[in-house]
Amino acid sequence: MKKFIQIIFTLSAAITANVSIAEALTKSTPEEVGISSERLNNVTNAMRRYIDRNELAGVVTLISRKGKIVHFESQGWKSKERSEEMSNDTIFTIMSMTKPIVSVALMMLYEEGYFLLTDPIEDWIPEISDKQVIIDPECLQNCVSARREAESKITFRHVLAHTSGLDPSRDNLGKDEIDLLARKNTLEETIVNRARLPLAFDPGESWQYGSSTDYVALLVERISGKPLKEFLQERIFDPLGMDDTYYEVPDEKRSRVSAVYSPDGPDQTIKLARNNEYSSRPLFGGDFYGGTAGLYSTASDYWRFSQMLLNGGELNETRLLSPKTISLMISNHSGDGDVYIRGPGYSFGLGFGILSNAGEARDPLTPGSFTWGGAWGTIFFVDPVEEMIGIMMTQITSYRHLTVRQDFGVTAMQSIVDSNMPVIGYPIIP
């Protein structure tokens, strides 16, 4: 019991041992880390059923525990039309799994003393000062709502935690304002162009998923004085050995990019949406390197990033963040706001969804686990209590009709046969 209590109150620093990349990317025997080889077959079988029903083209799954990879498997097709099999080194569009990486980038600058979380972001983005707030958010159809001055300024915490209010509904905007939403050639041009838009609510009042991490990305650029793409490469990708993570996939690696599929027809079986050629340029076109989405990556690269987080900010003797900063990032910064993207039982930290109440959540993770996914089906989770990482990569433009993410979580977690947590019921983490 004493050990259990200690783990719960030190979630972010649960693992402090250094694990070399070469060692960790070598698959270990599951039984070495308290996982059943036989039970891991449930992960394989669950993913295979989606492929056999033609609901997904292919899937890559990776599971590690205590720094050791015990399951790394590819099934199905990278491109069905070209008869190209899925492989462990397949490159995926990770969409919103870009957000945790860009959030880590800004927190690296936080550690260097450039700002406090309570500082207004207009210190660095003065174009967005003097924001107004929509008074009548219930206006539903083609109306321009009344406005008032915002009661507080947008802070660094607000944009990292998606409580900024920076995404007003189109129904509350005039035609000229709606035109401002159009994405420009670059991230900076886009954000400056949107500066006159009102806020959906006073900063900190609610949780709203949207463009906040694009502001995080611009803050990285303006504080560091470097383009986001360059900062991520120099400060995160190169130090962690993330050699297959890009905003544009190089020509020589494009054959490894997965095609993208969409559900089609009454049975929701898949049809081709995009071949891999699209990955030769930024996802949103032009020179737009954003924070909300845009990166391409592999399961193994994202494992390196995830293991760094689980290690308390360090991997392979390279430290990106302090354990104290990781602890801060996986704390609840959304209050009682409804983190509707992940459903009941979740709060939101600084770049991650945090499972707060196992009795409400659909995912079988331990309270204190942090996670996020991408709009084209990818997902990762880190469970600090069980010292486990799970990553699932697939490419489908809509997955609301599927429970593949939850099935992956269930089959991954049930493979543990030697738990770090006594079977006394999950606590609620505030």
The reported pLDDT for the residue numbered 146 is: 87
What is the spatial distance between Cα 374 and Cα 258, in angstroms, rounded to a whole number?
15
More confident residue, 426 or 34: 34
The reported pLDDT for the residue numbered 123 is: 98
The reported pLDDT for the residue numbered 56 is: 98
**Token digits for 200?**
């959906």
What is the spatial distance between Cα 66 and Cα 109, in angstroms, rounded to a whole number?
29
SS (H, E, C) 332-364: CCCCCCCCCCCCCCEEECCCCEEECCCCCCCCC
Of 403, 153, 191, 408, nearest to 292 (Cα)? 191
CA distances from 260 to 5, 50, 255 (A): 44, 15, 13
CB 26 within 8 A of CB 20: no
More confident residue, 262 or 20: 262
Check whether 4 has a pLDDT greater than 60. Answer: no
Tens digits of residue pLDDT in 47-72: 999 999 999 999 999 999 999 999 99
pTM of the complete model:
0.91
What is the spatial distance between Cα 230 and Cα 234, in angstroms, rounded to a whole number?
6
Check whether 21 has a pLDDT greater than 70. Answer: no
Tens digits of residue pLDDT in 242-289: 999 999 999 999 999 999 999 998 989 999 999 999 999 999 999 999
Check whether 429 has a pLDDT greater than 80. Answer: no
Tens digits of residue pLDDT in 108-137: 999 999 999 999 999 999 999 999 999 876
The reported pLDDT for the residue numbered 6 is: 41
